[in-house]
Structure 1
Amino acid sequence: MVSEPDALRRWHDGGEMIELIVRGARRRVFVRVSGSGPALLLMHGFPASSFEWAELEPELARRHTVVAFDFLGYGATEKPADHRYSIFEQADLVEALLTKLEIQDTSVVAYDYGAIVATELVARAVKTFTLTRCVLLNHGLYARLYRPRPIQKLTLVPGIGRLLAYALNERLFTRSWSEVFSASHPLDPAVAALHYRALRTGAPGRDIHRRLLRYIPERAANRERLETAMATTEVPLSFLWGMRDPVSGAGIATELRRERPDVDLVEYADAGHCPHIELPDRVAADIIARTAPARP
């Protein structure tokens, strides 16, 4: 991934801030639109932002109108003070965004946190736009097999979590995130620094990381709804999976194949939790193969 200091600024310069009404509140949301062709919505993970798609966007934009945005509380999007973040609110934001952009049908590529939001969109059988396909990358598809990192669990503990959130600096952020990358494709500290900057920019306090992590218990509390939606949906599903992922890797892929013997699952034997950052060219090609119409 491009890691020079100006890369994040260029990413933001290529997009814009738009205003959306989400649950009655006006929210300023960062969005980039590039390329031409069928719409392709990119939904990022925790703890990053839309910038994690930077290496894939140029190739995807050759075949698609690519829409990349930052969820509420992430990246350049508004980070409201004392806010209780929710995957359900983020799904509302996605609906408002696509309505604003007048997109009536789209494929979705969603990773980690974004994949949970995509699952909620499937569960609510969204009517404001048509999901033509979901391509999902490493996430807690089966809650019982999801393995959050120890520091994430501790951050959710009252009292301790607040102290950890305030202690989180760039070094600790990089060390924690690097643990979910594969040894074959380690996290570049310069890339981590840019994502840390995006996380902190505009944050009203030092506990944004802790507030965003509330998605873990929220996902667990809604396990039945979300997993049933994935098991019964008629939306075509594809899965691109880093098998060296200690959080949601081989165990979930194995269960997925057991539950769905005919599943469209690509296993990246040499990738960890972030295959699109670790193997951007391979992942971009696999996305295009599943979402772009065949060339005449």
Structure 2
Amino acid sequence: MLSIARTAHRHVDVNGVRVFYRESLPEREDAPVLLLLHGFPSASHQFRRLVDVLGARHRLIAPDYPGFGHTRAPDDFTYSFDGLADVMEGFVERLGLTRFAMYVFDFGAPVGFRLAERRPERIAGLVVQNGNAYAEGLSDAARDFIALRPGAPGAEEAVRSLLTLDGTRSQYETGVADPEALAPDGWTLDQHFLDLPGRREAQIALAFDYHSNVERYGRWQAWLRRCTPPTLIVWGAGDPFFTASGARAYLRDVPDAELHLLDTGHFALETHLREIAPLVAAFLDRLGA
């Protein structure tokens, strides 16, 4: 018989932020926990199919950050990557998660690695999907984006161009070998949330703070070398922002990591769930925690 997960859709208050999250309800109470940390410009909905496929055997938890999806933050919330990590750290504590693996994608990498820096004993393993932590993984386009600063001529306009429907759609389509494998629902739903009041301003603030992540690369690499977490790397090799060199770079610090390069773009789960889901399931089964 097919085993499709039951999923609950919940909210929890974290320091005044009403965090929305989706959580699978596995058959075993002691099922391994995987915290799913989404990317830009998406939200927890990007993991819906993965949760359906794996959530009956594993406890998958996918929150929306402040400024994304269904999460609601106060008007005076300060949008920075430290701020996102603060909320996610509080979220983990509110749910009582003491030991879990992380699936880090895009923005999820700087959020997740901040969590790992703060509480390394909580991290049982790491699934990295187009989540960069190495300078060589930055494409020229990514470097140009990271160099943007508030007040510089054309900087805000450059960020705003990514927040349009064309900009959002291009992040899904670029580097994809088979465009027919892409459902339009992903970028359509992302754009709905980007168009909500205040969301563009939140994304502009995060864009201008992205350089803080690159400045931490050395610290995150040191954590990987020191703690050597079990690591699975699944990477869309056609990603226009984070190149395959960034995927291979992880092997310097976690040489036992399992690496799979896929013929697709940034949002690899959209086209390669069939390949990624069994890899993640086997990885969680090996962790056994």
TM-score, length of structure 1 as denominator length: 0.81
- Give the deviation of 1:144 after TM superposition: 4.0
In structure 2, the partner of 1:49 is 43
Alpha-carbon deviations, 1:43-62, whole Å to 9, x = none?
Answer: 10111111110111111111
| Residue 31, structure 1, aligned to residue 21, structure 2 | yes
In the alignment, the residues of structure 2 paired with residue 272 and residue 166 of structure 1 have an alpha-carbon distance, to the nearest angstrom, of 22
In the alignment, the residues of structure 2 paired with residue 194 and residue 39 of structure 1 have an alpha-carbon distance, to the nearest angstrom, of 27
CA contact (8 A) 2:80 2:205 kept: no
In structure 2, the partner of 1:98 is 92
- Give the deviation of 1:281 after TM superposition: 2.4
From 161, 186, 194, the counterpart of 1:191: 186
Relative to structure 1, the CA distance from residue 156 to residue 274 in structure 2 (aligned partners, 3 Å threshold; closer, same or farther) is farther
| Residue 284, structure 1, aligned to residue 277, structure 2 | yes
Relative to structure 1, the CA distance from residue 266 to residue 218 in structure 2 (aligned partners, 3 Å threshold; closer, same or farther) is same
From 126, 130, 133, the counterpart of 1:134: 126
| Residue 71, structure 1, aligned to residue 85, structure 2 | no
In the alignment, the residues of structure 1 paired with residue 97 and residue 235 of structure 2 have an alpha-carbon distance, to the nearest angstrom, of 28
Equivalent residues, number = 275
Alpha-carbon deviations, 1:190-212, whole Å to 9, x = none?
Answer: 421111112333x3264333122
SS of the residue 2:46 aligns to: helix
Relative to structure 1, the CA distance from residue 152 to residue 180 in structure 2 (aligned partners, 3 Å threshold; closer, same or farther) is farther
CA contact (8 A) 1:156 1:210 kept: no
Relative to structure 1, the CA distance from residue 236 to residue 107 in structure 2 (aligned partners, 3 Å threshold; closer, same or farther) is same
| Residue 119, structure 1, aligned to residue 113, structure 2 | yes
In the alignment, the residues of structure 2 paired with residue 96 and residue 207 of structure 1 have an alpha-carbon distance, to the nearest angstrom, of 24
Alpha-carbon deviations, 1:140-171, whole Å to 9, x = none?
Answer: 22024312636845864535233345566643
Relative to structure 1, the CA distance from residue 161 to residue 14 in structure 2 (aligned partners, 3 Å threshold; closer, same or farther) is farther
In structure 2, the partner of 1:234 is 228
CA contact (8 A) 2:19 2:71 kept: yes
In the alignment, the residues of structure 1 paired with residue 148 and residue 195 of structure 2 have an alpha-carbon distance, to the nearest angstrom, of 17
SS of the residue 1:280 aligns to: helix
Greater shift, 33-42 or 53-62, is seen at 33-42
In the alignment, the residues of structure 1 paired with residue 65 and residue 140 of structure 2 have an alpha-carbon distance, to the nearest angstrom, of 20
CA contact (8 A) 1:44 1:112 kept: yes
Relative to structure 1, the CA distance from residue 126 to residue 260 in structure 2 (aligned partners, 3 Å threshold; closer, same or farther) is closer
SS of the residue 1:62 aligns to: coil
From 6, 9, 12, the counterpart of 1:18: 12
Which residues of structure 2 form unaligned runs of 5+?
1-6
SS of the residue 1:51 aligns to: helix
- Give the deviation of 1:213 after TM superposition: 1.6
In the alignment, the residues of structure 2 paired with residue 139 and residue 173 of structure 1 have an alpha-carbon distance, to the nearest angstrom, of 20
- Give the deviation of 1:19 after TM superposition: 0.6
Amino acid in structure 2 at the alignment position of 1:29:
V
Amino acid in structure 2 at the alignment position of 1:18:
V
In structure 1, the partner of 2:80 is 86
CA-based RMSD of the aligned residues comes to 2.8
Structure (1/2) with the larger helix percentage? 2
